A and B are shown apart, each in its own frame.
Chain A
Amino acid sequence: DAGVIQSPRHEVTEMGQEVTLRCKPISGHNSLFWYRQTMMRGLELLIYFNNNVPIDDSGMPEDRFSAKMPNASFSTLKIQPSEPRDSAVYFCASSLGLRSGNTIYFGEGSWLTVV
């Protein structure tokens, strides 16, 4: 299996620009997560999808952040407009379901720098 695939791996953008991060979960996984990692706050859950439906987006920091999952094999996280404080590593992860004893698998992350 190819694992969770994220793109881009690295992005540098100017403040105010729109950023779109993409994720392809592991085939057959019905749970998808977006996490953000920073030195100050560690790993934070931004949003969780189950069967393509957003279940909890309480971790999304502001209205500037939005996430979609149009089908079982693709999800996007969009930041518009971006700000320097959005600089972080954004991880996508997928799972068959946390409670059933299945582990969560992370992508390699998208390293975002907003200047």
Chain B
Amino acid sequence: GIQVEQSPPDLILQEGANSTLRCNFSDSVNNLQWFHQNPWGQLINLFYIPSGTKQNGRLSATTVATERYSLLYISSSQTTDSGVYFCAVERSNYKLTFGKGTLLTVNP
């Protein structure tokens, strides 16, 4: 099956710093989504982005489908950004395959 690798596995930032999270996938995909799991366990969809660039406030994402990677940018990080960020891809069916996530800790 398709492999999804996320980096870095862990990231610690000071409030106000910027960060870039990466997602590499092993094959072409029909669907790519980024999720944030907050410290209470809730999974929130951030972006649906199989290709191109999208922005939502301090967050933006870029997927380069031909090179099989996606990047999630967080600018001016806040403590509420802490949690685990997951990349999930769908290749040729309905199954979303999740990466292992990046654990982000933003300190005040």
A contacts, CB < 8 Å to B: 31, 33, 42-43, 45, 48, 50, 55-56, 89, 91, 93, 98-99, 101-106, 108-109, 111
Contact = CB atoms under 8 A, between A and B. Distances in A.
A101 B33 CA distance: 10
B84 to A, nearest CB: 10
Interface string B22-58: 0000000011010100001111110010000000000
Indicate the size class of the contact surface on chain B.
20 to 34
A99 to B, nearest CB: 6
B42 A50 contact: no
B98 A43 contact: yes
A3 B35 CA distance: 16
Contacts of A101: 48
A98 B45 contact: no
A42 B94 contact: no
B74 interface: no
Contact of B41 (A33, A48, A89, A104): A89
Contact of B96 (A55, A104, A108, A109): A104
Given A42-B98, A48-B94, A109 B31 contact: no
Interface in B72-104: 86, 88, 90, 93-96, 98-101
Nearest first, the 7 A-B pairs at minimum CB distance are A106-B43, A43-B98, A103-B45, A103-B48, A98-B94, A98-B31, A98-B90
A41 B31 CA distance: 22
Contact of A108 (B30, B41, B86, B98): B41
Nearest to B101: A42
Contacts of B44: 106
A89 B42 CA distance: 11
A48 B42 CA distance: 20
